[in-house]
Structure 1
Amino acid sequence: MLLSFLLQRYYGPLARAGKVNSWKVYFQDESRFGLMTVLRRAITRAGVKPVGAYQHRFIYRYCYGLVEPLSGDKFFVTAPQVNTLFFEYLLQEFSRHEPSVYKIIFLDKAGYHRAKHLQVPENIRLVYLPSSNPELNPIERFWRDMKDKVAFRNFPDESALETWINTTINNYSKEHIASLTGYEYILQAVSHAKNAMEVS
């Protein structure tokens, strides 16, 4: 019901004005990747303790991500920190990605997502998820998958870390992202909204 209302209230007028011609639903979140080694459990022979190189360095890069659960479409940018400025930069760049598509973005209530002076492009609508419910945001499964891939890796500097982040993200196929993020209730909600739009 919420999605149908958003489409009728915000997408409809822009579509009739010829500013957009289709719509998609995305989920957004940020994740931190650093030079400090990520540890995970490892399988060894009984009685054998796994040994690996470890570095203790508090230098990080932050990845801003958007995923579309139906098709597996993705959009990511990296930044040295998370704040309103970099979030607004993400929105501006994402607005130019398929500019004729109206993008409904579900995201958490972080302060920089709701800043008073945040400039949101006309073809983007932000919808905030309930507080303290990360399980409602399917991009969390994508981040977990990436964190598993970075486990036990040591990077010499921020440049190498950022290269790894971008390369790893680009290696995800649309099918893989859709399989990670395509929660059934999301697919049903989008299907219902499409049917309602066609009837109206």
Structure 2
Amino acid sequence: MLTFLLQRYYAPLAAKGVVSHWKVYYQDESRFGLMTVLRRAITLAGIKPVGAYQHRFIYRYCYGLVEPLTGDHFFITAPQVNTLYFEYMLEEFSRHQPQVFKFIFVDKAGYHRAKALQVPQNIRLVYLPSSNPELNPVERLWGDMKNKVAFHNFSHEQELEAWITNTAKSYGQRQIASLTGYPYILEAISKITTSIE
């Protein structure tokens, strides 16, 4: 399928000099809130762990894109998930390495498929099968971030947003590639690259 998409969408822009090469990304959003995230804690046998907990329904969302081959990544924090913010993220991401044509694998959330959605010319959305989050390697990154936020109690949403931004920025390309580089994805990209060359 990717070979067809390359011929159909990438090749014409490459022939015009609009883009010079292509990459495959995976995208997803994750919710982080003021409500304390709980995880298991190691204690002595029979001793229940005690810690501060808050029950506040205020959230921020992290839009993330990762490229499993090299670990290239891009994050934006927003107060909601909807078509408007998704389109804004795509516009910003199109400016990230603008010479690269980006195939982005996404789930079938309504705002990913909205008729009003405007997709930049150097981006093509590819939809993953429904109800298969295990196919999206970004989920492993979210799991790692959720482990890091466990037991944190943020006093307000600005502090939460700063934590999301700083934590996302703390991931290096090697770490992203290690978390998201599923063997079957790397093998597929390698085979297509070799066949084209």
Shift of 1:140: 0.3
* 1:121 alignment partner in structure 2: 120
Shift of 1:57: 0.3
After TM superposition, the score normalised by the length of structure 1 is: 0.97
Alignment of 1:9-28 (within 5 A): 9-28=8-27
CA RMSD of aligned residues (A): 0.6
Q: What is the distance in 2 between the residues matched to 1:99 and 1:163?
A: 27
Q: What is the distance in 2 between the residues matched to 1:51 and 1:106?
A: 41
* Runs of 4+ displaced beyond 6 Å: none
Q: What is the distance in 1 between the residues matched to 2:99 and 2:107?
A: 25
Alignment of 1:133-148 (within 5 A): 133-148=132-147
SS at match of 1:49: coil
Alignment of 1:154-193 (within 5 A): 154-193=153-192
Q: Deviations over 1:14-38 (max 9, x none)?
A: 0001000011000000000000000
Paired residue type of 1:189: A
Paired residue type of 2:190: S
Q: What is the distance in 2 between the residues matched to 1:29 and 1:142?
A: 10
* 1:52 alignment partner in structure 2: 51
After TM superposition, the score normalised by the length of structure 2 is: 0.99
Q: Does 1:105 align with 2:104?
A: yes
Q: What is the distance in 2 between the residues matched to 1:83 and 1:196?
A: 38
Identity of aligned residues (%): 74
CA contact (8 A) 1:22 1:101 kept: yes
Q: Which runs of 5+ in 1 are unaligned?
A: none
Q: Which runs of 5+ in 2 are unaligned?
A: none
Task: Report how many aligned residue pairs link the two structures.
Answer: 197
Shift of 1:195: 1.1
Q: What is the distance in 1 between the residues matched to 2:3 and 2:28?
A: 23
